[in-house]
């Protein structure tokens, strides 16, 4: 699917076996009710919206775009220069990287593997399942670190490290240069 400046709304349930590609320059692409092996999405200045998605892998490349996800299952690889990502109801894992001014707000219902997130100049807000056991590390140069499990961490200046729960086998690594980090279980 491609849109230069228009809007594409794919609300029809799709069950695909291969790669589903969507891209926009400055338009809006909305995809919902889709099951596929891989979604590859790109946007320069547009908006990408995903709802009720099940994919092995979800790859997003954004320049100055807004990305919104709701009820998404899979391994997410998010790369952005500017813009922001808001994702709720995530079941899976992923790598989230905003190399410029990017806010990343993630809410997981189920974590299946490691999570890493980086924002150069934006806030990282992460919500994890309350029963998740994980190895945690957070680093910020100029921001603050706030977590609902601070009593399980070793906190020094702009770092926080520790094991959360009895059997941590998942790793959660967070980093910002000039943004705050907020994590809740």
In DSSP terms, 126 is beta-bridged to 106, 183
pLDDT in tens, 81-133: 988 999 999 999 999 999 989 899 999 999 999 999 999 999 999 999 999 99
Question: Any idea which residue has 């907020």 for tokens?
Answer: 182
pLDDT in tens, 162-182: 999 999 999 999 999 999 999
pTM of the model: 0.95
DSSP 24-71: ESSSEEEEEEEEEEEEEEEESSSEEEEEEEEEEEEEEEEEEEEEEEEE
pLDDT band at 10 (very low <50, low <70, confident <90, very high): confident
> From CA 81, how far away is CA 134, in angstroms rounded?
28
pLDDT in tens, 27-44: 999 999 999 999 999 999
- Does the pLDDT of residue 17 top 90, yes or no? no
What's the confidence (pLDDT) of residue 3? 87
Asked whether 153 and 160 are in contact (CB, 8 A), the reply is yes
- Does the pLDDT of residue 6 top 90, yes or no? no
């Amino acid at each position: 699917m491609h849109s230069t400046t228009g809007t594409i709304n794919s609300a029809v349930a799709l069950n695909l076996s291969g790669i589903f590609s969507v891209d926009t320059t400055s338009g809006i692409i909305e995809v919902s009710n889709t099951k596929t092996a891989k979604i590859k999405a790109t946007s320069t200045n547009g908006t990408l919206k995903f709802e009720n998605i099940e994919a092995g892998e979800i790859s997003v490349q954004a320049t100055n775009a807004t990305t919104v996800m709701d009820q998404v299952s899979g391994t997410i690889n998010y790369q952005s220069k500017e813009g922001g990502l808001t994702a709720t109801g995530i079941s899976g894992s992923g790598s989230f990287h905003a190399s410029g001014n990017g806010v990343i707000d993630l809410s997981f219902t189920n974590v299946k593997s490691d999570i890493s997130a980086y924002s150069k100049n934006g806030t990282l807000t992460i919500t994890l399942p309350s029963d998740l056991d994980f190895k945690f590390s957070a680093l910020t140069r100029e921001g603050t670190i706030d977590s609902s499990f601070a009593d399980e961490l070793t906190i020094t200046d702009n770092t926080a490290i520790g094991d959360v729960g009895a059997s941590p086998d998942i790793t959660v690594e967070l980093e910002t240069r000039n943004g705050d980090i907020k994590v809740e279980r």
